[in-house]
Structure 1
Amino acid sequence: MPPPILHSVIPQLPSGDLQRTADFFRDRLGFTDFKLFPEHGHLIVRRGSAEIHFWLAASEDEARHHGSASSCYIRVQRIEQLHQELVQLQAPFRYGLTRQPWGMHEMQVDDPFGNAIRFGEELSD
């Protein structure tokens, strides 16, 4: 019997307001595909093959509490181009493009509820 096959990992992050989260990902991060399920307290955002799910917390304070310890990492091709785009969109960077000792070129944006959205591209030798 062949072994199981695992596919992509999709983070599930807290939101204190699903519409506000969707607006942020559209306006500040350039995401274009959204599926909002308010009756189930769920939002799905996509850009390219990147996908993030959000669950509605009981309050904005609870979302910020959980969000302060939540993050996701999105691998990118052409990160400098994405950085320029996010600068134009006035994304609130925690830090801009940084060459990390672990071989990644990274930047991080925090969403309105404190979830760390980190983008990274492997450095070429």
Structure 2
Amino acid sequence: MEILASRMLLRPADYQRSLRFYRDELGLAIAREYSGGTVFYAGQSLIELADHGEPNAGGTLWLQVRDLYAVQRELADRGVPITREARQEPWGLHEMHLTDPDGVTLIFVQVPDTHPLRRDSRG
């Protein structure tokens, strides 16, 4: 399988406290902000603080793929348990969830051509 991009997704218990920590204390540059969170540059990767969903101290690995539904079939054919089947989310992304042996959530994501993540924001 080909991974196009990845990021660490954190769902903190106190979003504002974590936002201040990553933005103000660590001084990480903001890659983008959206109504439910903030994404920071972290070298060759990204760290996303999400102000939605249940807090998860272990974090979540976000993996972007070209064709989510093909990846789902490939993993199912290998007998990999899928925690949540692929579907389009209200925010426009297509997502499928798996859980690794240690309980870390892996979210496989397909970004549709019309999604804001595909648009050039330089205007």
Task: Give the TM-score band, short-chain normalised.
Answer: 0.3 to 0.5
Bigger fraction of residues in helix: 1
Q: Structure 1 length normalisation: TM-score?
A: 0.46
TM-score (norm 2): 0.46
